[in-house]
Structure 1
Amino acid sequence: MNKPTLDPELEQRLENIRLFADYLPAALIIHCLEDLSIVYMNKPGLERIGTTLEELQNMSQEQYYIRFFNEEDSNDYVPKIVQIVKSGTDDHVSYFQQVRVPLQKEWQMYVSNTKVFYRDENGRATHLITVAGMLDPVHHITSKVNRVMEEINFLRNNNNSFLKLTKREKEVLKYTALGKNSGEIAALLCISSTTADTHRRNIRSKLNLKNNYEAVKFAQAYSLI
């Protein structure tokens, strides 16, 4: 891939970045907004994800994100980045990212900060700069963030199934998660035990529940209890 010709001022900014970026205790990435291709990544970032700048620059945007990131996370932070690009301000966006790194089975949690790196003579944003640092996996804050991300992923993966529940089925799910049997649920909702049983069967089918623990997990994730 041929190296694109850059604006002299942009090239000077990149040269300034290169002078110190490899000394940062975090990944530093410069993206071209036109196609989100990577113009530059410092040595700590490249080493962390086990690749080279040349390899990254020869990847398509889709290949890059599928290989290294949980693409569902982008639904949360991309709109915020779009907003700062359009705003014409010097604001930045902070967000969490799940990153796949070599020899690690589980996602590694990073906190990233992105802002516009360069605007052309017309004020149009052309490049973004991002600094991404890995959260210490044994830190208590990381544990809390991981729990939140697990819940977010659970909601993403199960939202369509949960939306199939009727209002009454959500009430029955709530009491099921609280350990109530069909007779107790029937008394609380002023319905028959047979109807309560039917609701519970429908809930198990719609949510593919295998045990009461999974019912509790749904009830907690959707704030029923």
Structure 2
Amino acid sequence: MNISPELRKRVDNKIAELDSMAGMLPCIACIHNRDLELEYLSPLGQKQLGHTLEQLKAMGHDYHHLFFETEEADFVPKVVALLKSKDVSQRVSYFQRVKFYHENEWVWHATTSQILMQDDDGEVLLFITFSVPIDPKHHLTSKVTRLLEENIFLRKNYGKFAALGRREKEVLQLIATGKSNQEVAGELFISAATVETHRRNIKQKLDAGSLFDLMEYARAFDLV
């Protein structure tokens, strides 16, 4: 972030304020500047990522791609919209996946971001983010994770699903419940051969190779 030395000092003082109490926070605290560059990460966050703040800052924007699932994330547009709004009272909440140090699996986090500091002209300088990992041992975690993953699947594949016609969606719905071509034909008053044609076209449009793939579409788009 290219700012004057005087403004840089004010930014550093603001970050120091948070750092002085970061150890008392029951969450991970993170500060980015308006260019989405990392300025601060609380000790808990550094421990989970297995790197010091200096090491993480040296990574530049690669930091985001190494530790966060950015390809499937919807939080980036939300944060960008927050910064454009310049509204310090506005908050955005979202879920994001983070990869901890020496861990192979992504960990879901509940996260909230808010503008932390502006310059004298009202331009955003810093925004702060608080994140809490979702406890994998909680009995609701598996359900929450499934819903979040279905939402990711829905956003990635909406275009494919939208290409299906009304009749194809009806056939998909019945197939996903385990009905045979004959049973689907009986319910829709069409021939089994027509059902097979619909099934073939559906699999081609959705790039689905198995019944499981079809069922995943049906669940994500509320057909079953």
TM-score by length of 1: 0.86
Q: Deviations over 1:25-80 (max 9, x none)?
A: 322111111x211111121111111111112212232x1111011114542x3333
1:181, CA displacement in angstroms? 2.1
**1:194/1:73 CA distance change after superposition, 3 Å:** closer
Q: Give 1:163 shift.
A: 3.1
Q: Deviations over 1:126-179 (max 9, x none)?
A: 111111121211112322221111212222443343233222211111111122
Aligned residues: 220
Counterpart for residue 16 of structure 1: 17
CA distance in 2, matches of 1:19, 1:43: 11
Task: Give deviations 1:83-123, integer Å, cap 9, x for gaps.
Answer: 43314232222221100112222111111121111010111
Q: Which amino acid aligns with 1:49?
A: L
Tell which deviates more after alignment, 157-166 or 47-56. Answer: 157-166
Distance 1:203 1:48 in 2: 43
Which whole-Å CA distance do the structure 1 matches of 2:87 and 2:65 have between them? 30
List aligned pairs for 1:7-86, cutoff 5 A: 7=7, 8-33=9-34, 35-61=35-61, 63-75=62-74, 77-85=75-83, 86=85
Instruction: Provide the C-alpha distance between the structure 1 equivalents of 2:59 and 2:100, rounded to a whole number of angstroms.
Output: 17
What are structure 2's unaligned runs of at least 5 residues? none
Q: Distance in 2 between matches of 1:83 and 1:157?
A: 21
- Pick closer, same or farther for the CA change 1:14–1:89 going to 2, 3 Å: closer
- 8 Å contact from structure 1 (residues 88, 123) kept in 2: no
Indicate conservation of the 8 Å contact 1:25/1:44, yes or no: no
Point out 4+ residue stretches in structure 1 off by more than 6 angstroms.
none
Contact kept? 2:38, 2:60, Cα under 8 Å: no
The change in CA–CA distance for 1:23 and 1:4 in structure 2 (over 3 A counts) is: farther
User: Are 1:224 and 2:223 an aligned pair?
Assistant: yes
Say whether residues 1:112 and 2:117 are aligned partners: no
| Equivalent residue, structure 2, for 1:94 | 93
Contact 1:96 1:110 in 2 (8 A): yes
Residues 88 and 114 in structure 2, CA contact (< 8 A), matched pair in contact too: no
> How far is 1:4 from its partner?
8.3
What CA distance in whole angstroms lies between the structure 1 residues aligned with 2:77 and 2:214? 33
Structure 1 unpaired stretches of 5+: none
CA distance in 1, matches of 2:205, 2:147: 24
